[in-house]
C-alpha cells in the first residue's frame, strides 16, 4: 500500500510539473518572449538559461522520470523492472537536454525512414496474428491500438520528410526562403501535431476499452 501511495504521489507530481511549466505557464510566458528581442531579457529572470527558462526546459525531462517511476510503483512492478525503466527514462531525459549540433546527413534520414517502415510493418504483422486469438471485446481494444500505430507512423514519416528533404528541408534555410516553403513546413508541423494527438487518443481509447473489459469480466466472475 505504501508503494502504491508513493507511486500515486510521484505520478501526479510529475504530471503537475509538466502540465504547469510546459503547458499552462507558456500561455503567459510565450507572448513575452515572442514580442520582445532576446537581448532585452539579459540579466533578468526571463533570460535564456535563466530560472524561468530552466524551470520550463527541465519540466518534461524531470517530469517524465517522476511519472515513469510513479506509475510503475502504482502498478506493482518489481524492483528490477522499476530500475530498468528508471535508467531508461533518465537516459531519455538526458537526451532531451543534451542536444548536439549536427550536420546534414541524408543517409541518416534514409536509414531511419527504412527502419520506421520495417518496424511498422512488423508491428502490424504480429498485431494481425495476435488479433486472431482474441475474443470480440479484446479485438475492439486491439483495433483502436492499431489505429494509434497508423497515426504514429504517418507522423514519423512526415517528420522525416520535413527534416530530411534535400530540396527545402529545415537544414537549408536559404532554400526554404527561396521557394517560399515556410508555410508548407508550418502546415506539415501542424499536421504532425494533429497525427500525434490522434495517435495518443486512439491508444488511450484502447487502454480504456481493455480496462473496461477486464472490470466487466471480474464483475461476472
Range 196-204 average pLDDT: 97
Residues 170, 155: Cα–Cα separation, whole Å: 17
Name which of 15-19, 113-117, 216-220 the model is least confident about. 216-220
Q: Are 93 and 62 in contact (CB under 8 A)?
A: yes
Angle at 58 between CA 98 and CA 158, to 5 degrees: 65
Q: Is 74 helix (H, G, I), strand (E, B) or coil?
A: helix
Q: How far is CA 97 from the centre of its chain?
A: 15
pLDDT at residue 80 in the model: 93
Averaged pLDDT, 70-98: 91
Cα 9 to Cα 43: distance, rounded to the nearest angstrom: 36
Distance, in Å, from the CA atom of 196 to the CA atom of 204, rounded to the nearest integer, reads 12
Distance CA 72, CA 77 (A): 5
Give the mean pLDDT of the chain: 88
Q: How confident is the model at residue 109 (pLDDT cuts 50, 70, 90)?
A: confident
Per-residue pLDDT tens for 158-186?
Answer: 888 788 777 766 777 777 777 787 888 88
Q: Please compute Rg for the chain using Cα positions.
A: 21
Cα 221 from Cα 216, distance rounded (Å):
9
pLDDT at 48: 78
Please state the pTM of the whole predicted model: 0.81
For residue 103, pLDDT beyond 80: no
pLDDT for 36-68, tens place per residue? Answer: 777 777 878 778 778 888 899 899 999 999 999
Is there a contact between 206 and 154 (Cβ–Cβ < 8 Å)?
no
Amino acid at each position: 500500500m505504501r508503494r502504491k501511495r508513493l507511486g500515486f504521489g510521484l505520478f501526479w507530481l510529475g504530471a503537475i510539473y509538466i502540465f504547469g511549466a510546459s503547458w499552462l505557464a507558456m500561455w503567459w510566458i510565450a507572448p513575452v518572449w515572442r514580442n520582445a528581442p532576446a537581448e532585452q531579457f539579459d540579466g533578468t529572470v526571463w533570460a535564456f538559461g535563466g530560472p524561468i527558462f530552466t524551470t520550463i526546459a527541465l519540466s518534461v525531462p524531470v517530469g517524465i522520470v517522476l511519472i515513469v517511476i510513479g506509475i510503475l510503483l502504482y502498478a506493482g512492478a518489481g524492483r528490477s523492472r522499476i530500475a530498468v525503466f528508471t535508467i531508461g527514462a533518465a537516459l531519455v531525459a538526458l537526451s532531451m537536454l543534451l542536444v548536439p549540433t549536427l550536420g546534414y546527413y541524408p543517409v541518416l534520414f534514409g536509414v531511419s525512414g527504412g527502419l520506421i517502415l520495417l518496424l511498422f510493418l512488423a508491428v502490424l504483422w504480429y498485431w494481425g496474428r495476435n488479433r486472431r486469438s482474441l475474443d470480440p471485446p479484446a479485438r475492439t481494444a486491439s483495433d483502436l491500438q492499431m489505429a494509434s500505430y497508423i497515426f504514429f507512423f504517418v507522423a514519423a514519416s512526415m517528420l522525416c520528410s520535413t527534416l530530411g528533404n534535400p530540396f527545402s528541408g529545415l537544414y537549408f534555410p536559404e532554400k526554404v526562403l527561396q521557394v517560399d516553403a515556410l508555410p508548407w513546413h508550418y502546415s506539415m508541423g501542424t499536421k504532425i501535431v494533429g497525427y500525434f494527438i490522434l495517435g495518443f487518443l486512439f491508444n488511450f481509447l484502447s487502454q480504456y476499452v481493455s480496462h473496461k473489459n477486464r472490470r466487466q469480466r471480474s464483475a461476472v466472475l
